[in-house]
Structure 1
Amino acid sequence: MPKKLFFVKKCLFSSVIDSIDMAHTYTLMADSGSTKTNWVLFSGDQRPVERLSTSGINPFYQNQEAIVSILEGLDLQGKVPREVFFYGAGCVGEAQLKSVEGALGHFFPAAKIEVASDLLAAARSLCGHQSGIAAILGTGSNSCYYNGQVIVENVSPLGFILGDEGSGAVLGRKLVGDVLKKQLPEAVCMAFYEQYQMDGLAIIENVYRQPFPNRFLAQFTPFLLKHIEEPSVRQLVKRSFVAFYERNIRHYPKALQLPIHFTGSVAWHFRSVLALAAEETGFQMGKVVPDPMDGLMRYHSDQH
């Protein structure tokens, strides 16, 4: 976006800030994965005023200009936040944090802006101010040991090629691999081709030549959920969850004594299989929530 247009936007937001009723203070919160960003604007009493969604924002895959283009679609109905907390996948290095902070700063120049990882969002939402183990299972996967204030230990997820066990991208990768190599029952393979109308060449093109292959692969998780009662499909999903526990959770202090809390769409929709995998590996599953937003609102309201 041209710098001149940024300046105009900043002036417009500044004039709104100057005239806003001091009695109405809002906080804008974002929980962003690689596929989707959930936004909520809430007041001091934790009451959501606006809930919106945009495309996913991940500074590892998108530059600041691309992030700005996504933020242009964020319509807050004229309400201006005084605080913006952005938690996102890929928000882990200085360059990535500055990229997101810069994009947000152009739209909210007078707001206090904090950018942090989606993993810290999960820890704050699931554990609050208590120590514990928090995990994300969505398009990607991640986990950490949290001491009630900061993340103390984190087993690197390594992405969907080298790691990301239990994630939507890995579940989708395993599914299409088994379909293309005819490792699943014929009826399941036929149902896949019928539902998606996609042959092997199209799948390979999307995985190896198109952007965001993780999103592409994660889109197949509803098929797994639809056919979860098929033993071979259920086993595929459970094996991936077992690998998540063994290759990630087992490395944390007191992992066998502490409950493992989860957030993310995959954790939520497959929670019964996730519980079976926990039982098989000797871990205790704690709370499971579809997204961390409500817990984050509680956490930040407690900070005031």
Structure 2
Amino acid sequence: MIGIADSGSTKTEWCLLGETGKLECRCFTPGMNPYFQTEKEMAEMIQQSLYPQIADYPIEAFYFYGAGCAYPEKNACVERAIQSYWPVPVEVNSDLMAAAHSLCGTEAGIACILGTGSNSCLYDGKKVKEQISPLGFILGDEGSGAVLGRKLIGDCLKRQLPASLCQEFIETYQLTPASILEHVYKKPFPNRYLAGFVPFLKEHLDVEPVYQLVYHSFEEFICRNVMQYTDYNQYPIHFVGSVAFYFQSVLREVLQQYELRPGKIEKAPMNGLVMYYNKVRR
């Protein structure tokens, strides 16, 4: 039996697969991110939240994918935290590799993440062949929830959207210029704060300026990321993440405009990861 984990900073989903590929257990714990948590803190979370749920299962290996797991020294912290309770092999990969394995499987393709942040890579069926750096929501992260929220606030405060819509937005979230600046420039996790406004965009997507805001943000993602890969138009373009999933009609229109081949669009990677490991373990 193997364990598969897909982790963000706030939540981790764990699945246990038996020898025949049967899903034996699915559970959730708080997130594990080695950029924000020490090895000790992650081990304590495992002890309190995960171990009681799966202690009785005969797990032979773990495959962990997570935000913040892009460097060997950080990955080693996650590995040791898990091995403090299960002395078995632990393989730690980034959330981008989770997207590649989930969306592309063993086939070549371009795997993209559009959630709170954005990311992408050209995957050759075994490894990441090329990656354009996402650069975060200040310098990059085109098409992400954080950038969509940033654009929405900017357009409202600079009177680029209809006055009635701006008023509704301000009243819905009880915003003031001072509170916005406080959250964006002084409080932690401004990207999450900005991404929290994405539901307003979804609710008002039929308003033309809102549609154009979303459309052009996705267009920037495609032009500045996807189209920078070698032979980008020869591969299916896959997406995972809540922003991609809930705005997929707009995303498909952008792909069509640039004559790109749409692939899978999924809300989360776990179902695809289960399929991937059932295939590679045969």
User: For 1:265-299, what per-residue CA distance to the aligned partner results, in whole angstroms no more than 9, with x for missing partners?
Assistant: 11111100111111223322111111111111121
Q: In the alignment, which residue of structure 2 is the partner of 1:96?
A: 74
**What's the secondary structure of 1:73's corresponding residue?**
helix
1-side partners of 2:160 and 2:29: how far apart? 37
Farther-moved stretch of structure 1 (96-105 vs 268-277):
96-105
**Structure 1 position 153, deviation (Å):** 0.5
**Structure 1 position 56, deviation (Å):** 3.5
**What's the secondary structure of 2:132's corresponding residue?**
coil
**What's the secondary structure of 1:107's corresponding residue?**
coil
Q: 2:13 aligns with which of 26, 38, 55?
A: 38
**Structure 1 position 58, deviation (Å):** 2.8
Taking structure 1 as the reference length, the TM-score comes to: 0.85
Taking structure 2 as the reference length, the TM-score comes to: 0.91
1-side partners of 2:27 and 2:270: how far apart? 12
Matched, 1:123 2:100: yes
**Structure 1 position 69, deviation (Å):** 4.6
* Structure 1, unaligned runs of 5 or more: 1-25
Matched AA of 1:256: N
Q: In the alignment, which residue of structure 2 is the partner of 1:285?
A: 262
Matched, 1:73 2:57: no
**Structure 1 position 42, deviation (Å):** 2.9
Q: 2:64 aligns with which of 73, 86, 102?
A: 86
Whether the 8 Å CA contact 2:108–2:235 is kept in 1: the answer is no
Farther-moved stretch of structure 1 (127-136 vs 188-197):
188-197
Q: Cα 1:57–1:220, aligned 2, differ >3 Å: closer, same or farther?
A: farther
1-side partners of 2:169 and 2:41: how far apart? 33
Q: How many residues align?
A: 278
* Structure 2, unaligned runs of 5 or more: none
Matched AA of 2:128: I
Q: 2:246 aligns with which of 269, 273, 294?
A: 269
Listed as ranges, the matches of 1:1-304 within 5 Å are 26-71=1-46, 72-74=48-50, 75-80=52-57, 81-108=59-86, 110-304=87-281
Farther-moved stretch of structure 1 (115-124 vs 210-219):
210-219
1-side partners of 2:275 and 2:260: how far apart? 27
4+ runs of 1 displaced by more than 6 Å?
none
Q: In the alignment, which residue of structure 2 is the partner of 1:18?
A: none
User: For 1:229-272, what per-residue CA distance to the aligned partner results, in whole angstroms no more than 9, with x for missing partners?
Assistant: 11111111111100000000011122112210111111111100
Whether the 8 Å CA contact 1:35–1:215 is kept in 2: the answer is no
Q: Cα 1:53–1:210, aligned 2, differ >3 Å: closer, same or farther?
A: farther
Farther-moved stretch of structure 1 (116-125 vs 36-45):
36-45
Q: Cα 1:64–1:180, aligned 2, differ >3 Å: closer, same or farther?
A: farther
2-side partners of 1:203 and 1:50: how far apart? 42
**Structure 1 position 131, deviation (Å):** 1.2
User: For 1:164-206, what per-residue CA distance to the aligned partner results, in whole angstroms no more than 9, with x for missing partners?
Assistant: 1111111111112222323221222122222212322222212
Whether the 8 Å CA contact 1:242–1:281 is kept in 2: the answer is no
2-side partners of 1:155 and 1:145: how far apart? 9
Superposed CA RMSD? 1.8
Q: Cα 1:181–1:120, aligned 2, differ >3 Å: closer, same or farther?
A: same
Matched AA of 1:275: R
2-side partners of 1:30 and 1:287: how far apart? 21
Identity among equivalent pairs (%): 47
**What's the secondary structure of 2:233's corresponding residue?**
coil
2-side partners of 1:222 and 1:79: how far apart? 40
Whether the 8 Å CA contact 2:42–2:81 is kept in 1: the answer is yes
**Structure 1 position 77, deviation (Å):** 4.8
2-side partners of 1:34 and 1:138: how far apart? 13
